[in-house]
Each structure stands twice: as C-alpha cells, then as structure tokens.
A and B are shown apart, each in its own frame.
Chain A
C-alpha cells in the first residue's frame, strides 16, 4: 500500500455512551484511527472491548436511545458521517462502505432468495435494472467462489452451508464496489477449515479489488495471517496500534503482551502451564480517569490510578497507551 496516501476513512475521538437502567456505559472512549486505501486494518479485543460498537457508531447503525454518539468526527468521502442526514448515510452504507456481520445465519433474510438480496443494493444504490442487477449478482457469486452461480441465485439462505452463507454476505457487501469493507468477526461462527477458505478468499479479493478492509476479531491468529496494521482495544479505547509484524515481535502494552502469551500455540514449544491474566475486563461506568487495565496489570504504578494514559508515539507507526516503558523497564517520561 502506498505510504502517505490520503486516508479513505479517518476517525477522530469517537465517543459512544449507552444509557441503561443501571446507568451509563461508556463503550467507546476517544477512539481515533485512519484507514488508507487498500490496506487491511485488524481490530482485536475481547467481548465488551468496544470493537464492534466503534464500527457501528461510525455508520450510525446503533439505535438511539439507548446509544448516544457523544462526539468525535468520521471523515469519509469529504464528509463527516456523524453530521450527515439519515438519507445520505443510507447511501453510504451498503454502497461505498460494505459490512459483513458475524453470524451469516441471522444476517440474511430467510424469506428472500439470495439473488434478491444481492440485487437489492445494486438496484437501490446503483440504479441498475433488474436484468443488469441479475447479471452482476451472478458475477459476484462467481467472484466469491460459489459454484453454479446462475442456479444458486434462486436458492434461499437455508439451502447454503455456513461457509457458503458467509460468501453470500461478502458478495452483498462487495456489490457496489465499496471503498471500505468492514468485517465484524466474519469467521468466528465458522469451523477452522471453512475459516481458512474465507481468509484465503478475502486476501484474494482485497488484492483484486483494492478496497480497504477493517477486520474485527478476537483471534490473534487470524490477525497474524491477514492484517497489515493492528489496533488492540481494551475498555473501549485503543491501547496499542502497530504494523502487524511489529506488534507481534515487539508488543509494548502489557495487555497485548499478556494476550500473546496466554494463547497456546500449535507449533513450537509447548508451555507446561498457561500464563493467565487475572481478573475480569472492566465495565466502563464512566469516562475513564485512570488506565482501564491497571487492576489486571503486572507493571502498574501510582500514575496509572490517577491518569488515563494517552497513546504515546513510539515511532514506525507504533503507539501504545501506557505509562510504563517496556524498553527502559521504568515509567515513561512524559
């Protein structure tokens, strides 16, 4: 990917709060990132870390109430998506920004055949005639590797297996030649051998079509194989962000380091005992005033309890939100 190219998507200080009966939940806290054309950004985090909510906030997909996008900006295509009309937003979603959801079972409509569902965005967003749309739908099914595409257009979702359904979802997301594809845990519900097929397909499609991809997952293994850059989220904020090789070779945030040692490996040395991260992930009842990871952190010190660390730039496109400097083994001077 060309360095210095203008980002297709630029998110600044995004904040999302849910109003619940038990009080507020600060799900996304000042998340910023940018996405360059053609690159694949991996977003990793555990459940509740805010990775899905971030992506849904920027596309206005969260119902309000309870969700309240409190601030920030999302620059896409010369506009701030947080301040455009619903109508304009609708033309972006499914058009220039495609979305693939986790569960291919529930995200396809069971009462329409897949041909109709692939043609829907083509007719709505691109104003195609029925015949044009049908031809394009067939091309798309072939593109995502579904055999007998022409016949299968008339089939209903239940006639496809899980992996095939996810291919259909990808075909729908790709229908209008998106500049950005957001994939939210697209392989989590699939078996490993089927996951391998989908990962291979995504890499191929990205190279062929040149769109930028945001890939949300909790699986560091998937990220290692597919991403160019990685953003690690915890407690609704970005705690570390780096090019993929750098992140795995040289993790700087204690959470990332712990996460990398806690997963057993299939190759190489087998650890006699797994390292564990004590405690539970936090529920953010208020905007963070301290580091959200400090209770589970093994290098936390006084400052972590009174101040939320900003993302320190470490050079080479690497940043980490931590007051502890792993390289000097002491507090960061800032």
Chain B
C-alpha cells in the first residue's frame, strides 16, 4: 500500500501545545498542561494516519492543533506546501477549504436550529460566490455522496439518528473539496452496528475524492482496519509510529505492547489463553510529567536511564519510529 514515491501532504515538526494553568487571587500563571509536547510526523498523500492513545494523551488536541484551531505554543506545520504554524487566524481562513474536520459528537457539532441543507451549505456561503440554486445542487450531490436521502434536506438534525448525523458532519467537511480531513473519534459515539457503516463510507470517499485522513481514535481494532500507518501517543508525545502491519504484529514500544494486549479480543478461547500485560497505576498528570521517559512510572521494562534521560524519538528500523531506550543500543541492526 505504501508507495515509496509518495510525498507528505502534511508535515508536523516538534509541535507543542501547552495550556496555561492560572490559580490564586490574581489568577497568576502557575504552570501549564503540556497537552502536546514535541510531536513530529508526516501524513502522506492519500494515506490514513491513525492516531491512537488513551483519554488525556493529547491526541484530540494534536488533531485540532494541526488544523490550527488553536494558536500553537511552538512548532511547524506544513500542509500542502504551506507553512501554517505561525500564520494568524485571519489569513488561515483562506486555507480552511483544503483542511477540514469531522468531530466526535454529531449531536454537539451540528446546530440544532439549522436545517441539514443550511448546515451543509454554510461552507459555500463563507468561501464561494455560487448562487443559491448552484449551492442547493451541490448540497444535494453531497447528500447523495454520503448516503443521505435528498428529500430530508429541509429537516433538522434531531430528526436523524446518530449515524445519519455523522454523515451530515462528513458532508459538511467534504463541501469545499478538501485534501486533508482530521477525523476526531468520528465513530466513538455510535453503536457497533452503525460504526462499520460510517467507516466504510469514509473509505469510499477517500477512494472517490483522493482524501488524506488523520484518523484519531481510541479504538485500536478499528484503527487497524482503516489506517495505513499508526502513531501511538502517550502523555503528549508520540511513543511509536509504524506501518499498520508492523505495529500490530510486532510492536516495539512497551506502551504499545501493553495497549494492544489490553484490547479485549472477541474470541473466548483466545481471550482466556493470552497472557495480558496489565499496566499498574494511572497516567501521570500532563501538568507534571515524570522526569526522563513519560512512561517510566508504569513501564514493565523500565531501566535506570529511563528515569533520568528522555528517550529520543527516532527511526530505529526503516519506517519505524519509536522513543524508547530499549532500542538505543548500537547493535540494533536486526530487522
């Protein structure tokens, strides 16, 4: 699947997004939540990069920061050969059509007072000079593309089920022919039988329109299905990034191993036979991460060096990145 000649459409370098903590009578700045703390990755044209991690690891913040929905603390983001890291929000506006987002909660991300037609039409109002009839025609085409009945254009979001609402959100994201879409947990709020419908739709649309996705999810089995490459985040940092097959068959980072082994497998004989890696304790607070490696407080293979020195995020085998001292030896020529 991974063409060697493919160029990155999105390139993120050392992205940091810190949120200040204010406290006390004078609301003085007493610290910061390092939600995203030095993250680098590329998203190749036409691929789906899965971004997985547990709640609070910074994956959603990372997705939003890449689209510059926040003013980032530092770092560089290049989308379609344009650097947007330091660009002010007013100038970003003209870039918005190329990069879009599908949100997690279709209930909260659709305005209940707007009809479906108005919701999908709004991007055209903002960014194009089409006349009303043209816009309506476009809306109808988009509704066809995402599998919604054109006849329902005048209805309000509450008349639709969760899966259908997510289709409305996808249609809106598609309106301006974007190249890059960040899907932030697009199926987390849906029932299992509906999840597959939405995932298949996203795959079809990718084929049809040549889209590039950053697919954020905590569902490792679904990411295995949809992603070309997968990045695993823990406490604001990417701990491992690898092509799908490699990551699931042979995870390198101890956190990835634990995460994969914690996923309940829907097969009773396997589920009872496999020896799980059960992590002790909870994720440390991102406002006060441990010294050294962020994972050293829970890591089953922790060494002395991990508690002092932060491991470097680097390519240990071709295409496989990880940040772990276990792979720092010089004799890692295997594989």
Q: CB within 8 Å of B: which residues of A?
A: 46-47, 161, 163-164, 191-197, 199-200, 218-225, 244-245, 248, 258-260, 262-267, 270-271, 273-278, 280-281
Contacts and interface: CB of A to CB of B under 8 A. Distances in A.
Given A46-B191, A218-B192, A262-B192, A199 B264 contact: yes
Contact of A277 (B193, B271, B272): B193
Contacts of A164: 282
Interface string B204-246: 0000000000000010111011000000000000000000000
Nearest to B248: A266
B137 interface: no
Nearest to A145: B280
B159 interface: no
A217 B323 CA distance: 35
8 contacts: A223-B266, A248-B267, A262-B196, A264-B225, A265-B267, A271-B225, A276-B196, A278-B197
Bin chain B's interface residue count: 35 or more
Interface of B: 54-55, 161, 163, 191-197, 199-200, 203, 218, 220-222, 224-225, 248, 258-272, 276, 278-279, 282
A117 B55 CA distance: 27
The 9 A-B residue pairs with the shortest CB-CB distance, nearest first, are: A221-B264, A225-B271, A191-B54, A196-B262, A264-B225, A274-B196, A220-B266, A46-B191, A277-B193
Contacts of B197: 276-278
A275 B196 contact: yes
Nearest to B193: A277
Nearest to B223: A264
Contacts of B262: 192-193, 195-196
B193 A281 contact: yes
Given A220-B266, A245-B268, A264 B224 contact: yes
Contacts of A264: 221-222, 224-225
A10 B193 CA distance: 30
Contacts of B264: 192, 195-196, 199, 219, 221-222, 224-225
A46 B193 contact: yes
Contacts of A218: 191-192
Given A46-B191, A192-B259, A267 B265 contact: yes
A41 to B, nearest CB: 14
A56 to B, nearest CB: 20
A47 B224 CA distance: 25
Nearest to B161: A280
Nearest to A265: B221
Contacts of A199: 264
B268 A274 contact: no
A46 B192 contact: yes
A52 to B, nearest CB: 14
A281 B279 CA distance: 37
B88 to A, nearest CB: 36
A105 to B, nearest CB: 12
A263 B266 contact: yes
Nearest to B198: A276
B199 A274 contact: yes
B305 to A, nearest CB: 24
B112 to A, nearest CB: 18
Contacts of B199: 274
A222 B266 CA distance: 7
Contact of A265 (B161, B194, B195, B265): B265
Contacts of A192: 54, 218, 220, 259, 262-264
Contacts of A194: 54, 282
Contact of A273 (B194, B200, B278): B200
Given A196-B262, A218-B191, A266 B220 contact: yes
Given A193-B259, A273-B200, 14 more contacts: A192-B54, A192-B220, A193-B258, A193-B279, A196-B276, A224-B271, A225-B268, A248-B268, A266-B248, A266-B265, A270-B224, A274-B200, A277-B197, A280-B161
A266 B218 contact: no
Contacts of A270: 224-225
Contact of A274 (B191, B225, B248, B278): B225
A164 B248 CA distance: 29
B105 to A, nearest CB: 15
Q: Which of B54, B218, B268, B282 has the most CB of A within 10 A?
A: B268
B193 A224 contact: no
Nearest to B164: A280
Given A196-B276, A200-B276, A200-B278, A266 B196 contact: no
A281 B191 contact: yes
A277 B190 CA distance: 13
A172 B112 CA distance: 40
Nearest to B282: A161
A283 B55 CA distance: 32
Given A263-B266, A266-B263, A196 B224 contact: no
A276 B267 contact: no
A318 to B, nearest CB: 14
